[in-house]
Each structure stands twice: as structure tokens, then as C-alpha cells.
A = this chain, B = another copy of it.
Amino acid sequence: MPNPTASMLVIGDEILSGRTRDANMHYLAGRLTEAGIDLREVRVVSDDAPAIVAAVKALAAAHDHVFTSGGIGPTHDDITADCIARAFDDHIDIRADARDLLAAHYAASGREFNAARQRMARIPDRATLIDNPVSVAPGFTLENVHVMAGVPSVFKAMVESVLPGLTGGAPLLSQSVRIDRGEGDIAGPLAKLAEDHDNLSFGSYPFIENGAYGANIVIRGTDAAQIDAAVHALETLFAETP
């Protein structure tokens, strides 16, 4: 059975303006690979309701799971929850379960549970809450979309809240072999090797280091022994053709 598929939607002007470098994509990608869920696509859109709604609809229809990051805080530019509700034609308002969590948290910390903070309790009717052990304000899952915060520490905590409930496939394993030659020298034999191992994938990721060309060849698959054999074949191949 093929692994479940996933996509990610990063919501935030700050990434598109170059002000902030996204950190959540890299974290999610690594965790999904370990869980045997294939991340097929990532989109980054701005804090713009039509763009968010259109992207959520397209990704939810195309993949088993969608993970979103960003736009669920208390400020005026936090519009993700309302956009998700709109994408799935669900009703959204301050919901008692989320409000109770937040009210208890602010009562305990002596801070005012004001109108802005109550916005963080806006949850679509049909959604289930995602636990936030870092800062309490919950994410939520609606249909196949998991809606999470953009602050990296909170995003990570929410991913760890969601993942145990998902059915993964065989973890995608990989090994990397560094070859200190230009890709042009290795491309021919490498293509032949990839053809001979058609249930593994061979990626070639070139680099330039101190003016010299090289490439990391990454062999991926779900069978550790097959990958070991391919790594051995690769190393032998380029040891023999200096």
C-alpha cells in the first residue's frame, strides 16, 4: 500500500517579504518522512483570505493530509481559522471548549482574557482541537486539514500532538554518499544505476565547495537492505572509475 500523502500551507507575509526565513517546513518535512507520510507539496501564501481559501481547497482535495502554519494568533492579521471554516463551509465562532482552556490559563497567570485573546478561541464547529502544551491556545483539525501556529516552538509542539493520531506508512529511509566530482562526470553511470534499482530513488544534489564541484547522492526507499546494496554499488562504481 502506498504511503499517505501530505502537503503544507505556510501562511505569512513575513516569509514572502524576505523578513523571516521559514523554519517550520524543514521541521515538518523531517517528521513526516520519519512517520512514513509523503510530503508532496508546500505552498507559501500571504495573509490574504482568497489566497488562503483557494490554497486550502486545492491542497485538501489533492492530498490525504494538509498541515498549515501561521495566522492563528490574536491580532488583526490572524485570519487563518476563519479562512479554513470558509474553505469547508463550516460555521465559526468562539467555542466553549477552547474558551474554557484559555480562560483558565489567563486566570492562572493573572492576565486579562480580553477580546483579542478570545479571538484565539474561534474554532469551526466541526473541528477537533489540537493540544498546545507551550502556550495553550489550541490549533484544530477540520476534515483533513491540521491548523497550527507559526511560532516554531508552538508549531513543533502541535506537530507532536497531531502525529500520533495519524496512520503512517513505511518510513522513508535514505543514505547519502558524497562524491567529490562534478555531476557531469557521474551522471551517466548514476542514471544506469538508478535504472537497475527502480524501486529506489536516486537524487543528485550538487554543491560547489572551495571552488570544487561535488554532489551528494541520496538513495531513498523503504527497504534498508536494498538501500545498503545500492550504496555499496554506488561506492564501488565510483571507486573503479577514477
Q: Please report A residues at the B interface, Cβ cutoff 8 Å.
A: 12-22, 25-33, 39-47, 51, 73-78, 111-112, 114-117, 119-120, 134-135, 150-151, 153-154, 172, 174, 176, 182-188, 190-191, 194, 201-208, 213, 215, 218, 220
Contacts and interface: CB of A to CB of B under 8 A. Distances in A.
Contacts of A115: 188
Contact of A40 (B16, B21, B29, B76): B16
User: How many copies of this chain sit in the oligomeric assembly?
Assistant: 2
B33 A18 contact: yes
Contacts of A44: 25, 41-43
A29 B42 contact: no
A43 B43 CA distance: 4
Nearest to A137: B184
B51 A41 contact: yes
A135 B194 CA distance: 26
Nearest to A58: B58
Nearest to A181: B111
B203 A14 contact: yes
A76 B111 contact: no
A78 B237 CA distance: 21
Interface secondary structure of A, over-half rule: mixed
B51 A45 contact: no
Nearest to A116: B187
Contact of A151 (B12, B17, B134, B208): B208
A174 B116 CA distance: 25
Contacts of A19: 174, 176, 205, 218
Which interface residue of A73, A174, A190 has the most chain B CB atoms within 10 A?
Answer: A73
Contacts of A112: 184-185
A206 B69 CA distance: 13
Nearest to A109: B182
A169 to B, nearest CB: 14
B203 A13 contact: yes
A185 B44 CA distance: 28
A185 B66 CA distance: 31
A184 B116 contact: yes
Nearest to A34: B18
A216 to B, nearest CB: 9
